[in-house]
Amino acid sequence: MAQEYDVVIIGGGTGGYVAAIRASQLGLKTAIVENESLGGTCLHKGCIPSKALLRSAEVYQTIKKSEEFGVETEKPILNFNKVQQRKANIVDRLHKGVQHLMKKGKIDVYDGFGRILGPSIFSPLPGTVSVEMTDGSENEMLIPRNVIIATGSRTKSLPGLDIDGTYIVTSDEALEMEQLPSSIIIIGGGVIGIEWASMLADFGVEVTILEYAEQLLPAEDQEVSNELKRLFKKKNINVMTNAKVLSETLVKENGVAKISAEINGVSKEFFGEKILVAVGRAPNSSNIGLQNTDIELDNGYIKVNEYYQTNESHIYAIGDVIGGMQLAHTASHEGIKAVEHIAGENPSLLHYEYVPRCIYSNPEIASVGLTEKEAKEKGFKVKTGKFSFQAIGKALVFGEIDGFVKFVSDGETNDILGVHMIGPNVTDLISEAGLARVLDATPWEISQTVHPHPSLSEVMGEAALAVDGRAIHI
């Protein structure tokens, strides 16, 4: 049977479901098509479950060092079954929350795989969505005025390293592990590699990272990356940068995977019970009927304009499938902007240089805007200010004194170009830097903001003062 809608959204991840809620708020008749679970990668295979595991690892570490706080305990015992159960409960609760929001917004949810059809008896324009229903019932035909493609991305591997779920895994399989391996090789020292390395090391797993680039987290500020490397070494993580993995050397036998990598031209062997491949994600743009449209792709990513319209102006695309910053909060903001544009609301544009990037390792890392190197390459006369957590009272009270906040600013206009952080709770502290960028604040204005004492946020005021050599507690 054919159903008409104002908006049909293909993909119910963070981008898709948030767009659906906004569409419903704007009075648009909305449907969402999802072939796995509402909430998508972020809720089921990404942000939420991985952060739940990271939190358990952190608690385990904190209890191990509880004597430092004057709290004596027996040696803590890690029950990984319960760790996994807690993670599943959190995901389940949030999943129910999203389902409830769909009902509340009177959004029709189709459990199935959506494909875009070309011009047909239903519409002279491409965009009718055919849904292959998960329960095997007859395909549903959805006839929308507008479509939003929010199909996200999937894990990928390297040639020669097929994911077998036992020796070679991606974050998808790793999240479902029933027991921890004694050792692991992580290929890729990007966001996923760093979070997993941190978590597994805190759980007591022997971790090696093989990163192809010169530094861990190649997109982040070099000083942050160097500090991370130092702190990871303190956790006994074996960090190898400039590492070219030689897939053809892979041997899997007797519960051990062996692989070689060329480190600065010298071949070296590495062993692990598992290999976790974390070398980026691939867009879900094939098999969704794009060949029936004029939509253009760039390396698999859907090309869109600043309002997320594809070449077919009534078909929009948002989130990981358009590339760029593959982050849940980026996707949801893109979704809201796309829907508001559909509704003729003339939304403001999303400024990607204001979007915070957060890594939930221990220590946490967060940043917004340009790194010092990027700012210099763009020709800015760069001024920086840096302040360590060591001199922040609340950090001492917390027992977390590693790390710092660094401002990168324009020496001529005093504009903030970037803020980079590593240390306790920086994934929350970064919001002040994000707001500063939206309000076009200068470091001086941040330093005039009264930060409560004692609080970790004092590091922001001090780092801002440090840009002009005026930090107090140094």
Report the site for ligand NAI in 353-412 (rule: CB under 6 A): 358-360
- Closest approach, Cβ 393 to ligand NAI, in A, equals 28
Pick the closer one to ligand NAI by CB: 154 or 314: 154
User: Using an 8 Å Cβ cutoff, are 418 and 372 in contact?
Assistant: yes
Which strands form 274-277's sheet, in the order they lie side by side?
168-169, 274-277, 183-187, 206-210, 238-240
Binding status of residue 270 toward ligand NAI by CB under 6 A: no
Type of residue found at 426: V
Q: Which residue is nearest to ligand NAI (CB)?
A: 190
Identity of the residue, 43 or 243, whose beta carbon is nearer to ligand NAI in the bound complex: 243
Question: For the chain, how big is the Rg over CA atoms in Å?
Answer: 24
Of 5, 7, 94, 1, nearest to 338 by C-alpha is: 7
Q: Give residues 313-342 in contact with ligand NAI (rule: CB under 6 A).
A: 326-327
Active site residues: 453
In whole angstroms, how close is the CB of 59 to ligand NAI at the nearest point?
A: 19
Pick the binder of ligand NAI from 105, 165, 218, 454 (CB under 6 A): 218
Q: For strand 266-272 and strand 256-263, is the pairing parallel, antiparallel, or unpaired? A: antiparallel
Q: Which is nearer to ligand NAI, 141 or 163 (CB)?
A: 163
Q: How many CA atoms lie within 13 A of 67 on its CB side?
A: 5
SS3 351: coil
Q: 281 vs 420, which CB is nearer to ligand NAI?
A: 281
3-state helix, strand, coil in the chain (%, to 5): 35, 25, 40
β partners of residue 207 = 184
d(CA 38, CA 44): 9
Taking the complex as a whole, the smallest distance from the CB of residue 308 to ligand NAI amounts, in Å, to 18
Residue 278 in contact with ligand NAI, rule: CB under 6 A: yes
The tokens describing 425, both together, are 């709770």
Q: What gap in Å lies between CA 349 and CA 49, rounded to an integer?
A: 31
Residue 407 Cβ vs ligand NAI, minimum distance, rounded to whole Å: 22
From residue 225 to residue 264, what is the string marking binding to ligand NAI with x (rule CB under 6 A)? ------------------x-x-------------------
Q: Which of 141, 153, 154, 70 is nearest to 112 (CA)?
A: 141
Residue count (the chain): 474
Binding to ligand NAI (CB under 6 A) within 157-216 occurs at 158, 187-193, 195, 210-213
Interface with ligand NAI, residue 13, by CB under 6 A: no
Q: Which is nearer to ligand NAI, 18 or 342 (CB)?
A: 18
Shortest distance in whole angstroms from residue 193 CB to ligand NAI: 5
* Footprint on this chain of ligand NAI (rule: CB under 6 A): 46, 158, 187-193, 195, 210-213, 218, 243, 245, 278-281, 326-327, 358-360
